[in-house]
Amino acid sequence: MIIEPRMRGFICTTAHPDGAAENVKQQIEYVKSKGKIDAPKRVLVIGASTGFGLASRITSAFGSEASTIGVFFEKPPMEGKTASAGWYNSVAFENEAKKAGLYAKSINGDAFSDEVKAQTIAMIKQDLGQVDLIIYSLASPVRTHPKTGVTHRSVLKPIGEKFTNNTVDFHTGKVSEVSIEPCSGDDIENTVIVMGGEDWKMWLDMMKKENVLAEGAVTVAYSYIGSSLTEAVYRNGTIGKAKDHLEATAFEITDSLNDIGGKAYVSVNKALVTQASSAIPVIPLYISLLYKTMKSKGIHEGCIEQIQRLFQDRLFSGKTVPVDEKGRIRIDDWEMREDVQKEVAELWNKVTTENLPQLGDLEGYRKEFYQLFGFDIENVDYSKDTNEMVQIESIK
């Protein structure tokens, strides 16, 4: 079929397999261009099909020839209906891994469930014995708790008072004021249950019990802090409470891995265009001003550049892993640089619908958004009849 982007609100309901393949190939080429990394060789990535998780899987496989198991929750294709982007990314990843002679298998299912954890552990036992690195990179709006069966929904809201600020509809480029009502009821608790650290710990507990964690195993989850412009809706909002919980869980996990010399880290990453971040009001405007500023300073990074740097310069540099006063790895260092934040804040005060194309990188934002779904990528012939039914090698 001929596949075109189809938008519904802030999401794109179609994805392009050839675009996804090209996207994955470009990320692989980037990692290879940066040279070998002396990192773990048996890696589990939970949330491996898009964004930071996919970049982690690619960096492990093509930066240090690791065997990888990837867990994700993606929609397979149906005749005449495309799969979700993460499905096609994973098709492409496994194809490239196979060509390179690397072990790669995937599990498509709900990572919050006991069943998917058990299935993953069985695969590790059978194929790898144990793993030495576990990346936890889930981003989800819902979680059905495996013990209670209750489905919890996260919300992206400020706490305490209404927050009013500018935002942009990145499709039309219209800058307007938006007000977000504060959270209420169980919103904070639910958001912490979905995006906090409980499930991360459940994975590690179960894996330890089943003896699939190697001596000295390392696990990493991703967090975000961001600027004072977005803190009411992000770090001081409901999602921030979940990130506080995730960061505190790292210490609990490290304690629980003491006897095998294991360690849990949280890495604070930079703001990037993903499906999740596009849905948060205010954030797209911040990102478009941030991209403009960081690009003009030559320090812009996407997911793959962030994770490659995280592995090479922070986690596996052979030196002590540098952390901040709260024990977190900071790969958001360039976003948070004083000169960067100062410039973004100045632009923020001036930006209007009329001057956004000059002051911000709206085009870059839009392009990256389409690229998440495999569109707007060079070297792809979008007029060509494309097979939407491609399958993930290890799931066939």
Q: Which two tokens stand for residue 110?
A: 């709900």
Q: How far is the CB of 174 from ligand NAI (least distance, A)?
A: 22
Nearest to ligand NAI of 47, 374 (CB atom): 47
Instruction: Establish if 52 lies at the interface with ligand NAI (CB under 6 A).
Output: yes
Instruction: Establish if 47 lies at the interface with ligand NAI (CB under 6 A).
Output: yes
Instruction: Establish if 316 lies at the interface with ligand NAI (CB under 6 A).
Output: no
In which residue are the tokens 């964690």 written? 213
Q: How far is the CB of 2 from ligand NAI (least distance, A)?
A: 26
In which residue are the tokens 């986690």 written? 315
Number of residues that bind ligand NAI (CB under 6 A): 29
Nearest to ligand NAI of 214, 307 (CB atom): 307
Q: How far apart are CA 17 and CA 387, in angstroms?
A: 8
Instruction: Establish if 394 lies at the interface with ligand NAI (CB under 6 A).
Output: no
Instruction: Establish if 271 lies at the interface with ligand NAI (CB under 6 A).
Output: yes
Q: Pick the binder of ligand NAI from 50, 56, 68, 312 (CB under 6 A).
A: 50
| Segment near ligand NAI (CB under 6 A); pick from 14-22, 51-59, 121-129, 312-320 | 51-59
Instruction: Establish if 198 lies at the interface with ligand NAI (CB under 6 A).
Output: no
Instruction: Establish if 274 lies at the interface with ligand NAI (CB under 6 A).
Output: yes
Instruction: Establish if 119 lies at the interface with ligand NAI (CB under 6 A).
Output: no
Nearest to ligand NAI of 64, 277 (CB atom): 277
Q: Pick the binder of ligand NAI from 3, 61, 123, 138 (CB under 6 A).
A: 138
Instruction: Establish if 280 lies at the interface with ligand NAI (CB under 6 A).
Output: no
Nearest to ligand NAI of 214, 340 (CB atom): 340
Instruction: Establish if 248 lies at the interface with ligand NAI (CB under 6 A).
Output: no
Q: Which residue is nearest to ligand NAI (CB)?
A: 51
Q: How far is the CB of 127 from ligand NAI (least distance, A)?
A: 19
Burial of 252-265, coded b for 16+ CB within 10 Å and e otherwise, reads ebbeebeeeebbbb
- Contact between 37 and 316 (Cβ < 8 Å): yes
Q: How far is the CB of 49 from ligand NAI (least distance, A)?
A: 4
Return the residues of window 57-116 that contact ligand NAI according to CB under 6 A.
71-74, 86, 110-112
Q: Pick the binder of ligand NAI from 139, 159, 248, 260 (CB under 6 A).
A: 139
Residues designated as active site: 234
CA dihedral (16, 17, 22, 26) positive or negative: positive
Instruction: Tell me which residues touch ligand NAI (CB under 6 A).
Output: 47-53, 71-74, 86, 110-112, 137-140, 222-224, 269, 271-272, 274-277
